[in-house]
Amino acid sequence: MPALSFAWTRRTVLAGLAAVALGASAQFPERPLKFIVPYAAGSGVDVAVRPVADAMGRELGQALAVDNRPSAGGIVGTQALATSAPDGYTVGYGNLVTLSINPAFFSKLPYAPEKDLVPVGLISSNAYVLIVRKDLPVRNLQELIAYGREHPGKLSAGSPGIGSAGHLTGELLKAETGLTMVQVPYKTGTQAVGDMVNGQLDVTIENISAVLPFIQQGRVKAIAVTSAKRAGVLPEVATVAESGVPGFEVVAWGALMAPAGTPRKTVDRLNTALRTALADPAVVRANAALSIEALPSSPEELSALMKREKPRWADAVRRAGVKGD
């Protein structure tokens, strides 16, 4: 009986050691992953993210399925990511809005980026562009400022909603330049641009990729870009900084995030896959077509960016005198 008992114990121990060894040799990932995108299928973000997800899947050896969770300015999808299991098999898209603006704008946000999420790496950067209706008699930012002073209360500025990136970028610009504009909120930026094309709106600030065709067709005029350097697709358009506002820079950055508690080794594996994906020829071509600049980074660089952006947008919300529910 003792020998039988010992033999059973030895087999159990050996089996346990084998299981541990097998587990130690297992490589992440061993099954498909989910990539939560907090915007609708077919949206600008969705179109830009899918080639990256496909390329990451090829690098990881597992499919990276995009799961669109739109609604409430990205809140629904970001909350879904924040409450997912921290095992690396669910990642998600975060950006200027969901990670920096929403925490400043909403008093009861159901997630806290610094507490509920962990940075993996930056994906992209895309400038905003200040555009005006084609028959507005201005050619640059300084002329727009002068026009606003000469016609107080007459300039209408559209944006995709109060608290949106376009709205708050306009508030930062107003604070820096004294530009006066009457805010006109729309449900989407597309609606604002449509009214501008029809001559019913004077100014808006939008993502370059969203309005580039309208600019190229001469249906609106671009008078300044918000990035630190000129946009490659609009080399003749000056930056806001070049237009008399030194140091002004706002870009629509996007990033890969994971639930808080995701092991660092897993985060590093995801970061490596992301960096590889951003150099993939298919992603490079897609980014070029959308006027998007790849922006690979470490988790620490993304974390530092988020920390820098937080007080800036809190100040923009304060200046605008607006607050979400």
Q: What are the structural domains of the chain?
A: 33-125+252-320 (3.40.190.150), 128-225 (3.40.190.10)
* Dihedral sign from CA coordinates of 227, 231, 237, 242: positive
- Residues 264-318 have pLDDT tens digits of 999 999 999 999 999 999 999 999 888 899 999 999 999 999 999 999 999 889 8
Instruction: Look up residue 138 and give its two tokens.
Output: 């201005």
* Helices 189-197 and 208-216, axial angle in degrees (round to 10): 20
- Residues 188-235 have pLDDT tens digits of 888 999 999 999 999 999 989 889 999 999 999 999 999 999 998 899
CB within 8 A of 232, min separation 6: which ones? 291
Instruction: Look up residue 75 and give its two tokens.
Output: 């809140």
Find residue 68's DSSP bridge partners: 37
Give CA 267 to chain center in angstroms: 19
Q: State the first-to-last Cα distance of the chain, in angstroms, to the nearest integer.
A: 71
- Residues 116-126 have pLDDT tens digits of 999 999 999 98
Give CA 176 to chain center in angstroms: 24
Cβ atoms of 111 and 79 within 8 Å: the answer is yes
- Residues 18-71 have pLDDT tens digits of 444 444 346 899 999 999 999 999 888 999 999 999 999 999 999 999 999 998
Burial degree of 12 (CB within 10 A; 0-12, 13-18, 19+):
exposed
What amino acid is encoded at 234 in this protein?
Answer: L
Per the confidence metrics, is the pTM higher than 0.85? no
Burial degree of 81 (CB within 10 A; 0-12, 13-18, 19+):
buried
Higher pLDDT, 111 or 319: 111
Element (H, E) at 320: helix 299-320
